[in-house]
Chain A
Amino acid sequence: MEAWRFFKKTLRLVVSGGPVYYGWCLFLICIVVVAFRYYLYQLDQGLIATHMRDQVSWGMYIANFTYLVGVAAAAVLLVIPAYVYHFRPIKEIVVLGELWAASSIIMALLFVFVDLGRPDRFWHLIPRFGWLNFPSSLLAWDVLVLNGYLLLNIIVPVYMLVKLYYGKEPNRRLVVPLILVSIPWAVGIHTVTAFLYNGLAARPFWNASILAPRFLASAFCSGPAMVIVMFQVVRRISYIKIEDSALFKIAELIAYAMFLNLFLLAAEAFKEYYSDTIHLASLQYLYWGLNGHRVLVPWIWTALGFNVSAFLLFLIPRTRKWLPTLNLGCLFIITGVWLEKGPGFVLPGFVPSPLGEIYDYVPSQLELFVSFGVWALGLLAFTLFMKVAIPIERGEFTHTGRGRPSTAYAIPDSEAQ
């Protein structure tokens, strides 16, 4: 009964908001509805409604999946400074970061779901009910670690928020180990995702040891950049205190991650171009075109330009500590890493095909709309999470109904930076 009352209260919270909130939610819901109709068409016609074919059998959906797993792993970047280095300004927003990680994982799992040929058979993946090919298949590993990560990033914030709602202190002995375990787990989800590509000897573009480190480096760029943007939105609309210094610290860490990402790219390029075997073909296709097939070339160079620009913007303290350039850098990184890690990673793996064929995959309209729909659903989920989480954090939404600023996260002014 108490659960129902709590749920009713959160429902009431979620449906009451200003015009901007309604406008944003309605906008997202429209996209979801349109996308769902496209998805139904895909279910009816089969995956032939996409532009994926035998030659390039993974496309826009899996590209987005790869990117979003990286974004979800970025929660780690917030957690480490807060809990390992006791950097106070970040501590208060950890819960919001974890809810963003949960939303990202939801989107990633949805992208896999819409990519499946037989989603009605997804229960075959459940251990004991189906037959999960663990530990042989890396996809089986991914199913387990991604769902575990989702559980972790739902349970911990929900627990903290519910405790806050009742005005109680969270049991640190329960929560801190879970938060600390999410650090290696976040590294784990992205390593497993990298390994699922890495282990395929049939695809020389992916069969490189550099994959897992590169994935982690680019994940630590894109995820936190989204978080920086998101928290500026959050603090504007909800007056929750998020210090500028927190944002600048995150940006500094992104700069180091982007340096690593660019260095690893250079290492890959050296190996392929200097050794000059036939396996150079995939990288060649991506950056310069192969036999006149140049469909990815402008995109990848845009990505490189964005990444390098963002790196410089975050490295130089002047531009890092000025919000307009900081945000420009974030935009560059979010787009640049998406291009490089999504289509710029998945598609060249299939070109040339194992028998030397080149097929220029370009997503179909259906795939684009379904992808927008999944993103919209994730953003909607995050918006709803925030609609409940922020009032709880600010102490406005409590069990007693009396507005009282919560003490759990308050930082005494003398300590605040």
Chain B
Amino acid sequence: MAEKHLTRREFLRTLVLAGASGAAFSLASCTKDERERFFQKHFLEMTDAEKRQMIGRLEETYLKKYGRPFTISTEGAVPRTLWGYGLDLSRCIGCRRCVYGCVKENNLSRHNPQVHWIRVLRLRKGNLVNLEEAEHYYDPPYVPEDGYFYMPVQCQHCENPPCVKVCPVHATWKEPDGLVVVDYNWCIGCRYCIAACPYRGRTFNWAEPKVGQDEWNTSVHYLGNRPRPKNVVDKCTFCVQRVRIGRYPACVEACPTGTRKFGNLLDPDSEIRYLIDHKRVFRLKEDLNTDPKFYYFFAE
């Protein structure tokens, strides 16, 4: 009998066969729903029909899982809009109503983990941009405190976002209206974007988000405040579910001192353009060239 040698072809064939049978076996043991969820495409690659089907599946899932009927919007960017935010540092008193208004509106996990998209810093007067001395956990009986001022920070929606640059799977990108968004069903949870963000704009759902059944806000956007799965990144979206239909973001409405301003940078009559024209605005860490659309200013 002739000696048979292990040829390259045989070796490769064995490998491929083993891999294929393994994959086929695991696929066959899933339900159709699980298969659809596993193989869900990137949001930007879906056709409208696929989006509708995906939304239907998600709404069903949310009803089953959370016991409330959700309406998930996939409203696209309004043409000729570029959203900008203004924050009046002469008026913020550090009351954190914006933080918790955002938590309610955006279905953020209340505990284990606690996710806050907005972080209010307390800074000593006389020191503005050196954040090394910032206090995050101030808890006095009343605010504002003497000798301090307050600076809330959230995702700055940069025009040159470092997080978008580094995401290995395109799970985060900048929409045409300037909003930096995340596809929570595409994110692999590597947290490279969190390392890349200079502003603590992005947070991570370290576990399954905990929201009380009657605490859910059921008018949601796919790229915004819909219930998130565990172990993915999320961030302030300038309330994409609100601004694309013309409503002010929740933090703007929650603030009791009129500190927060919002508008369309491309509309010369907007509030945001007025304050850029008339007040001295600056942005955080401008030397990093991220070109944020979050403008801090002092009205007086």
Give chain A's interface residues, CB within 8 Å of chain B.
1-4, 6-7, 45-48, 52-54, 57-58, 112, 115-122, 124-125, 130-133, 136-140, 143, 162, 166, 196, 199-203, 278, 281, 349-350, 352-357, 399
CB pairs A–B below 8 angstroms (19 shown): A2-B4, A3-B13, A3-B14, A52-B206, A54-B204, A118-B187, A118-B229, A118-B232, A124-B42, A124-B169, A124-B171, A133-B170, A139-B166, A139-B168, A201-B290, A202-B196, A202-B197, A355-B119, A356-B132
A354: chain B residues within 8 A (beta carbon): 131, 197-200
Is the CB–CB distance between A46 and B208 below 8 Å? yes
A58: chain B residues within 8 A (beta carbon): 191, 195
B195: chain A residues within 8 A (beta carbon): 57-58, 200, 202-203, 349-350
- CB within 8 Å for A45 and B207 given contacts A115-B190, A131-B170, A166-B5: yes
Q: Mark B1-36, 1 if CB is under 8 A from A, else 0.
A: 001111100110110000000000000000000000
Is the CB–CB distance between B132 and A278 below 8 Å? yes
> Is B282 interfacial (CB 8 A cutoff)?
no
- CB within 8 Å for A57 and B45 given contacts A140-B168, A355-B134: no
**A282 nearest CB across to chain B (Å):** 11
For the A-B complex with A136-B165, A139-B190 known, give 17 more contacts whose Cβ atoms are closer than 8 Å: A45-B207, A48-B112, A48-B206, A57-B191, A117-B231, A121-B189, A124-B188, A125-B169, A132-B168, A133-B169, A137-B166, A166-B5, A201-B198, A278-B132, A281-B132, A355-B200, A357-B136
CA distance A338 to B70 in the complex (A): 49
- Which of A137, A162, A196, A281 has most B Cβ within 10 Å? A137
**B114 nearest CB across to chain A (Å):** 10
**A104 nearest CB across to chain B (Å):** 20
User: From DSSP, what is the main secondary structure of chain A's interface residues?
Assistant: loop
**B247 nearest CB across to chain A (Å):** 28
CA distance A222 to B104 in the complex (A): 50
Is the CB–CB distance between A200 and B166 below 8 Å? yes
Quick one: closest A residue to B115, CB to CB?
A54
> Is B66 interfacial (CB 8 A cutoff)?
no
Specify which of A3, A46, A124 is in contact with B11 (CB 8 Å cutoff).
A3
A7: chain B residues within 8 A (beta carbon): 14
B3: chain A residues within 8 A (beta carbon): 399
B38: chain A residues within 8 A (beta carbon): 120
Specify which of B13, B119, B134, B188 is in contact with A116 (CB 8 Å cutoff).
B188
Specify which of A45, A47, A125, A349 is in contact with B188 (CB 8 Å cutoff).
A125
**A118 nearest CB across to chain B (Å):** 4
- CB within 8 Å for A130 and B4 given contacts A45-B207, A54-B200, A125-B188: no
- CB within 8 Å for A131 and B45 given contacts A125-B168, A281-B132: yes
**A141 nearest CB across to chain B (Å):** 9
- Which of A6, A118, A143, A281 has most B Cβ within 10 Å? A118
Is the CB–CB distance between A139 and B4 below 8 Å? no
Quick one: closest A residue to B166, CB to CB?
A137
Quick one: closest B residue to A131, CB to CB?
B170
CA distance A119 to B288 in the complex (A): 32
CA distance A195 to B119 in the complex (A): 30
CA distance A200 to B188 in the complex (A): 20
Is the CB–CB distance between B288 and A118 below 8 Å? no
Quick one: closest A residue to B133, CB to CB?
A356
**A119 nearest CB across to chain B (Å):** 8
CA distance A354 to B205 in the complex (A): 19
> Is B167 interfacial (CB 8 A cutoff)?
yes
B192: chain A residues within 8 A (beta carbon): 137, 139, 196
Is the CB–CB distance between A200 and B162 below 8 Å? yes
**B113 nearest CB across to chain A (Å):** 6
- CB within 8 Å for A133 and B204 given contacts A201-B162, A355-B136: no
Is the CB–CB distance between B288 and A202 below 8 Å? yes
Is the CB–CB distance between A2 and B7 below 8 Å? yes
Is the CB–CB distance between B190 and A202 below 8 Å? no
Q: Mark B228-239, 1 if CB is under 8 A from A, else 0.
A: 011110000000
Specify which of B131, B207, B290 is in contact with A46 (CB 8 Å cutoff).
B207
CA distance A124 to B10 in the complex (A): 30
Q: Mark B139-170, 1 if CB is under 8 A from A, else 0.
A: 00000000000000100000000100111111
Specify which of A199, A349, A352 is in contact with B132 (CB 8 Å cutoff).
A352
A47: chain B residues within 8 A (beta carbon): 189, 204, 206-207, 231
Is the CB–CB distance between A116 and B189 below 8 Å? yes
**A135 nearest CB across to chain B (Å):** 11
Is the CB–CB distance between B186 and A2 below 8 Å? no
> Is B121 interfacial (CB 8 A cutoff)?
yes
> Is B53 interfacial (CB 8 A cutoff)?
no
- Which of B5, B119, B132 has most A Cβ within 10 Å? B132
A202: chain B residues within 8 A (beta carbon): 162, 195-199, 288
Q: Mark B115-133, 1 if CB is under 8 A from A, else 0.
A: 0000101000000001111
CA distance A117 to B234 in the complex (A): 13
**B101 nearest CB across to chain A (Å):** 20
> Is B203 interfacial (CB 8 A cutoff)?
yes
**A370 nearest CB across to chain B (Å):** 15
B170: chain A residues within 8 A (beta carbon): 131, 133
CA distance A248 to B263 in the complex (A): 69
CA distance A189 to B71 in the complex (A): 46
Closest 6 CB pairs of A and B: A117-B189, A117-B231, A46-B207, A202-B198, A48-B206, A139-B168
> Is B194 interfacial (CB 8 A cutoff)?
yes
CA distance A199 to B197 in the complex (A): 12
Is the CB–CB distance between A122 and B199 below 8 Å? no
CA distance A145 to B134 in the complex (A): 40
**B194 nearest CB across to chain A (Å):** 4
**B193 nearest CB across to chain A (Å):** 9
- CB within 8 Å for A117 and B14 given contacts A132-B168, A352-B132, A356-B131: no
Is the CB–CB distance between B232 and A117 below 8 Å? yes
A53: chain B residues within 8 A (beta carbon): 113, 206
A355: chain B residues within 8 A (beta carbon): 119, 121, 131, 134, 136, 153, 199-200
CA distance A352 to B136 in the complex (A): 13
B208: chain A residues within 8 A (beta carbon): 46
Quick one: closest A residue to B173, CB to CB?
A133
Specify which of A46, A139, A201 is in contact with B231 (CB 8 Å cutoff).
A46
B173-226 residues at the A interface, CB under 8 angstroms: 186-192, 194-200, 203-208
CA distance A143 to B190 in the complex (A): 12
